């Protein structure tokens, strides 16, 4: 693979022989062992496996929050292994969105402000940022909750704000780590469908870890983490 540019058919995200090892005392734990995977443009891929199987570590490596011990991560046709920390940060801001199990919204900021902030950090103007945030939140049914802080929102509403924040900078790929894991089944279904609709509408690729087999079946395909490797289901 090369970074001379990518066509519309090339994968948005590639994990190329990725290995990640942790050491505790005299023990070595190979969490990721030569992982090979890719996500195509507009594709939504489920990532499943038992707790402790390495899903979160894989997402952290894919999202450039952690560096692999071996192998490389490619985002939008660019190899990230030799990037400086500044270049990796810039790539995260411009090309990667995140949605976590816990919303991680800023408690002193309104729903609108939480979605505006990452856009402003990325260099977008205030008027454009606010208009885009209002549009995203409106599409998620939160037009009446724009000025509410997280403490005044329900769990499902907070996760929908987190989803809007995750796609606010029009990322190439959205990474989700159990994005509905803290919600009851009915709310989880509603929030997850909202996530799918928004991601598909914006043609964003997504890799989403979940324990919920029913939610996994609603995605385009499934990858299973087993013994540090990814296996198509």
Report if residue 149 sits inside a domain. no
Report if residue 188 sits inside a domain. yes
Spatial CA neighbour of 73 closest among 4, 21, 8, 18 = 18
Looking at the structure of the chain, the number of domains it has is: 1
Report if residue 121 sits inside a domain. no
Q: Is the pTM of this model over 0.75?
A: yes
Report if residue 170 sits inside a domain. yes
Report if residue 6 sits inside a domain. no
Report if residue 124 sits inside a domain. no
Question: Is there a contact between 183 and 104 (Cβ–Cβ < 8 Å)?
Answer: no
How many whole angstroms separate alpha carbon 32 and alpha carbon 39?
18
- State pLDDT tens for residues 41-75: 889 999 998 777 788 889 999 999 899 999 999 99
Domain that holds residue 50: 13-104+154-232
Q: How many CA atoms lie within 13 A of 17 on its CB side?
A: 5
Report if residue 119 sits inside a domain. no
Report if residue 225 sits inside a domain. yes
Instruction: Judge residue 98's burial from the number of C-beta atoms within 10 Å of its C-beta, 0-12 exposed, 13-18 middle, 19 or more buried.
Output: buried
- State pLDDT tens for residues 101-155: 777 899 999 999 999 999 998 888 999 999 999 999 988 888 899 999 999 998 8
Return the CATH number at 32. Answer: 3.40.50.300
Sign of CA dihedral 87, 88, 92, 95: positive
Contacts of 96 (CB under 8 A, 6+ apart): 63, 64, 75, 171, 172, 173, 174, 175
């Amino acid at each position: 693979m090369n970074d001379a540019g990518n066509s519309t058919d090339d994968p948005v995200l590639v994990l190329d022989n990725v290995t990640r090892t942790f050491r505790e005392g005299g023990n070595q734990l190979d969490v990721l062992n030569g992982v090979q995977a890719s996500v195509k443009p507009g594709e939504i891929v489920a990532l499943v496996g038992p707790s402790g199987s390495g899903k979160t570590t894989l997402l952290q490596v894919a999202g450039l929050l952690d560096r692999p011990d071996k192998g490389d991560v490619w985002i939008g046709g660019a190899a990230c292994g030799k990037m400086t920390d500044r270049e990796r940060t810039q790539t995260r801001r411009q090309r990667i969105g995140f949605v976590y199990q816990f919303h991680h919204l800023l408690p002193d900021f309104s729903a609108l402000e939480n979605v505006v902030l990452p856009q402003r950090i990325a260099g977008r103007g205030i008027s454009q940022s606010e208009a885009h945030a209002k549009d995203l939140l409106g599409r998620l049914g939160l037009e009446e909750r724009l000025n509410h802080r997280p403490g005044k929102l329900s769990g499902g509403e907070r996760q929908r704000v987190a989803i809007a924040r995750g796609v606010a900078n029009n990322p190439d790929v959205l990474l989700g780590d159990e994005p509905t894991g803290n919600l009851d089944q009915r709310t989880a279904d509603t929030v997850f469908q909202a996530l799918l609709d928004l991601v598909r509408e914006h043609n964003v690729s997504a890799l989403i870890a979940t324990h919920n087999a029913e939610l996994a079946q609603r995605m385009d395909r499934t990858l299973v983490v087993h013994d540090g490797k990814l296996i198509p289901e």
